[in-house]
Structure 1
Amino acid sequence: MGDHAMMPQWPEFGDDEEKELLEVLHSGKWGSTSGDVVATFAQEFAEYQQAAHAVCLANGTLALAVALRAAGVGIGDEVIVPPYTFIATASAALFVGAVPVFADVDPDTHLLDPAATEAAVTPRTKAVIVVHLAGRPADMDAFTALGARHGLTVIEDAAQAHGAAYNGRPVGAIGDLGTFSFQSSKNITAGEGGAVLTDSAELAGAVYSLVNVGRVPGGGWYQHESVGYNLRLTEFQAAILRAQLRRHPQQQEVRERNAQLLTSLLSGVDGLQLAPDDPAITAHGRHLFMLRLPGRREAVLQSLTAAGFSRASSGYVPLHRNDAVRREAQAITARLGQPYPEPACPHADLVSSDTIWLPQPYLLGTESQTHALATAITEAVNA
C-alpha cells in the first residue's frame, strides 16, 4: 500500500508563519484597532478573490450572519438555503431573526438547485445563500439571474471555496456578498477566522460597522452610527493568514493535480459516482473530494478506515431534519403568525445516505499516495 500512512497532516506551516507571528508579538500591536496586519491581509485576500472590498472577522458562521444583516435581512424574512451544508448556513438566518427555507440540491453535484430555489420563493423571501460546497462553484449565472428577477440578495457561502472560480471569475463577489472561513480544516487557516467580500462600497461599510461595534471607518472611538457586534480578527490570526495565503496557490496546484489523477483512476469503478465535469468551473476549491456509493457507503468507509484512511467521512446529516434548526425556525414563524415552510428535500436525503468525503489533506500527498488511495477505494468498492 506504499506510504499512504504518511498522508500529509494539516495545517502546513513553517518559518514564514513564525516570522509573521513574531513581528506582531514584538510590535505590541495585537489588535486590529492599533495594528495594520488585519487590514493588509483583508486587502490581499480581496485582490486574491478579485473583490473590491474584504472585511475580516472572527469566523465564517458570523460572516454569514453579518452578510445577512448588512443586506437588511431581519425578523421574519425568509432566506433560502440548501439542506446539505454546515449548520451555520441555516443558523446564520436564525441569528438575525430570519427563517431558513430549505430548497433541494442537485444530487449529481450536492449543490443548491436553482429550480428548487425558485420554487421556494415567497413574498417574504429576502435572500438566498448559495453554498460552493467542497470548493465546487454553484451555478452563479442562474442564481444572479434569479436574484435579479425576484429582488433577492445573493450571498455566496464560500467557506470551502478559497481560490475557486466560476467562468474565470473567483467566487465571493459574484453575488452581492460572499463569506469565507479560515477555521482549522479550511484550505487557508488561522485556526479560526472569516471574511466577508463584496464589490459594493455601501455593503462593505455596513459589514465593517457590524464587525466593529457600529463604528464607521475614520470615525471616533465612541461614535457608534449603528448597532454592531464586536467580531474583530486579531493581528496574530492575520499574520498567519498572510503566510497561508502565500502558500495557497502552490498547494492548490498539488490538490488539483491529485484530484484529476484520483478522478481518472476512479472513473471506471462500477457503483461509484463522481460529480460531472462543468466547463463553467474554471477553478475548483478542492476542499473535499466527494464520492457517491449508493448502498455501499458504510462498508466502503469501514474498509477505508481499515486501510489507514481514517479521515474519510460520511459527511453531513441534512439540516431540514435537524430538530434544533426546525425548532428555532418554528418558534419565529409561530410568534409572527407566519406559515412554517415545511421542507421536502428528497435529493438531500439521498446524497446524505450515500456520500463519502475525502478531506483536502488527502489531495496534498504524492502521486504514489494518491494511487494508494485510489487502490484502497477501488478494492473497498469491489469487495
Structure 2
Amino acid sequence: MENKLDRRDFISALSLAGVSLAMGMPHLATATAANAKPALLGGPKAHPGAFPSWPLFDQSEEKALLDVLRSKVWGRLGGKVVATFEKEYQQLLGAKHCLGVSSGTSALYTILGALEIGPGDEVIIPPYTFIATYNVVVLNYALPVFVDTDIESFQIDANKIENAVTPQTKVIMPVHVGGSPANLDKILEVGRRRNIPVVEDACQAHLAEWKGRKVGTYGLAGAFSFQASKNLNSAEGGAISTNDEQFARTCYSFHNQGQGGNATAYNPGSGTRATNLRLTEFQGALLLAQMARVAEQTKRRNENATYLSKLFSEIPGIKPAKLYDGTTSSAYHLYMFRFDKKQFGGLDRAQFLKALSAEGVPCSAGYGQMNKDAYVTGLAQNKHYLRIYGEKTMQQWLERNQCPQNDILSSEQGVWLTQNMLLGSKTDMEQIADAVQKIHKYSRELAKV
C-alpha cells in the first residue's frame, strides 16, 4: 500500500519532531500550544525548562579574583586593575573619561555632588524608575520633580519636561529604563535651550545606543550600575562616563574624599565636601572578565527581544514597550510590555501574572507609583525639608507631582521579563509567546480561578 502524507499530516509530524517552518507561517509550537489548556487549568507548562541563570562566569573570573588576592593590593589606591577597567570601559562606551565607583547610586550621587546640587535646587526625574534615582536627589536636600511617563515607551515623557522647568531646576535626569534609550534628542534640546545640564541615568543601559552612539555619552555625564542583576555585573559597583575633562576631575575628587591622585593624604583636599565611593580592585577584576561577554550578550538579547516582539504582535492585548526612532540598540535589561485586560476577557494583571508564572515564565509587575508612595510623599513632612522649604512649598510639591499616565502603567498594564531570559534560545521565546497565547484563549476561564 502506498504511504501518502498530506500537508496537514506533514506539519503535524514536524511539530512532534520539534521542527518549525519559517516560510511566513507562525511557528508550529504556537499552533499546537493554542489548543492546550493553561497550566492553571490543568494543562502542561508552555515553558517546562529553565531559563539561563545569572550571573554567567567561568575560569576567567576565578583567575581575575585570585590575581588581585595574591597581589595584596585590594583597593584602587595604589592598584592598577580599576584604572585598567576604567580605560577599557571608556573605550567600549566611546567616552573620553570614565570613573569607577562603588555603585550606580554612588555614580549618581557623585555627579550631583560634583554639580554642587543642594537645598533649594530642583532635579527633574521620572516616576518610573528604581528608588535610587530619587534617593540621590533627596540625599542632597534638593527637590525631586517628577515628570510623567510616556506610557508607550515606559520612559520619561520628554514632551512634558519643559513645563516642569523652573528657575530652580538645576539638572534634568532621564533614566534609560529597562536599558532602552529615553528620547534623547528632545531631552537634550530642552537642556541646551534652558542651559540645564542633562545627566543620563544609564544604570540599566550598558551598551544601549542612540543613533549609533552609546548612551551615557550624550549628556554632561552618564551613570552605570554593576549591581548583581545588571547586564554587566560585579555584585556591587558603578561607573561615571563624561566627555568633560574638568568635570571628570571634579568627580574623582568628590569620590576620593576631596583628594586627587592615587593615594590618600593627611591634609584635606579641594572643595568643601566629598566622600569615599571608590571601586575595589576585586570589583574591577570581575568587571574586566565580565566585559569579555557583554557585547555578544547584548546582541543576543536584541535578537531574542525582536523575535519575541514579532510573536507578541500576533496576540491581541500585548504591546511591547515602544523604542524611539533614535534607538539603534537596547540593552534589554528588562523586556517590558503592556497588558490590556480588555483584550483578555476581563482578566486583570495580577491574574495574568499568576497564570504566566504557572506556565514556567517568571514575570513581574515592575515599578509602582513612586510619586504616590509613602516613602516619597513623606518627604513633605520631613523636618529638614520643612525647615528649608516651608510647609506651603512642600504641599505645592506634592500637588506638582501628579503622573496620571504612570498611574495607569504601573497599576494596570506594565509587565516585565528579566534580561537573563533573553539569553535563552529561540525556542524559549516561542514558549513565552505560547504561554501568553494560551492565557489569551482561556482568559475568561482563568478569570474565575
Q: Does the 8 Å CA contact 1:91/1:325 hold for their aligned counterparts?
A: no
Structure 2 counterpart of 1:351, one-letter code: L
Classify the secondary structure of the residue corresponding to 2:307.
Answer: helix
Name the counterpart of 2:388.
336
Could you tell which deviates more after superposition, 211-220 or 61-70? 211-220
- Give 1:2 deviation, angstroms: 7.2
> Secondary structure of 2:437's partner?
helix
Which residue in the other structure is 1:98 paired with?
A: 142
Equivalent runs, 1:1-383 vs 2, <5 Å: 4-217=48-261, 221-223=265-267, 224-226=269-271, 227-295=273-341, 296-310=348-362, 312-328=363-379, 331=382, 333-337=385-389, 339-340=393-394, 341=397, 342=399, 343-353=401-411, 354-383=413-442
Is the Cα contact below 8 Å between 1:94 and 1:329 reproduced in 2? no
CA distance in 1, matches of 2:251, 2:238: 12
Distance in 2 between the 1:244 and 1:13 partners? 7
Provide the TM-score with structure 1 as the length reference.
0.96
Q: Report deviation, 1:172.
A: 0.6
Which letter does structure 1 place at the counterpart of 2:378?
A: R
- Cα offset for 1:218? 6.0
Distance 2:385 2:82 in 1: 39
Letter in 1 for 2:422: L
Answer with 248-257 or 354-363: which moved more: 248-257
Provide structure 1 residue ranges, at least 5 long, that are not aligned to the other structure.
Answer: none
CA RMSD, Structure 1 to Structure 2 (Å): 1.6
Deviation at 1:330, TM superposition (A): 5.2
Q: Is contact 1:104–1:348 with CA below 8 Å preserved after alignment? A: yes
Deviation at 1:337, TM superposition (A): 3.4
- Equivalent position amino acid for 1:322 in 2: D
What residue number does 2:14 align with?
A: none
Instruction: Figure out how many residues of one structure are paired with residues of the other and give that number.
Output: 382
What is the one-letter code of the residue matched to 2:256? N
Contact map agreement 1:78 1:125 (CA 8 A) in 2:
yes
Q: Residue 17 of structure 1 contacts residue 243 of structure 1 at CA under 8 Å; is this kept in 2?
A: yes
Task: Give the C-alpha shift of residue 115 in structure 1.
Answer: 2.1
Deviation at 1:107, TM superposition (A): 0.5
Do the aligned residues in 1 keep the contact of 2:76 with 2:281 (CA within 8 Å)?
yes
The change in CA–CA distance for 1:257 and 1:142 in structure 2 (over 3 A counts) is same
**In the superposition, relative to structure 1, how do residues 218 and 349 fare at CA in structure 2: closer, same or farther (>3 Å)?**
same
Q: 1:220 to 1:25 in 2, by over 3 A?
A: closer
**TM-score, normalised with respect to structure 2:** 0.82
Q: Aligned partners of 1:102, 1:216: CA distance in 2, in Å?
A: 35
Please give the alpha-carbon distance, in whole angstroms, between the structure 2 residues aligned to 1:63 and 1:282. 25
Shift of 1:122: 0.8
Q: Which runs of 5+ in 2 are unaligned?
A: 1-44, 342-347, 443-449
Cα distance change of structure 1 residues 236 and 98 upon mapping to structure 2, 3 Å threshold: same
Q: Distance in 2 between matches of 1:38 and 1:381?
A: 50
The one-letter code of the counterpart of 2:353 is: L
Q: Retained in 2: the 8 A contact 1:272–1:381? A: no
Maintained 8 Å contact 1:3/1:368 = no
Note if contact 1:2-1:368 (Cα within 8 Å) is conserved in structure 2: no
Task: Verify the 8 A CA contact 1:2 1:369 in the aligned structure 2.
Answer: no
Offset, 1:188? 0.3
Tell me how far 1:276 sits from its aligned partner: 3.0
- Greater displacement, 70-79 / 180-189: 70-79
In 2, the alpha carbon distance for the partners of 1:355 and 1:361 equals 19
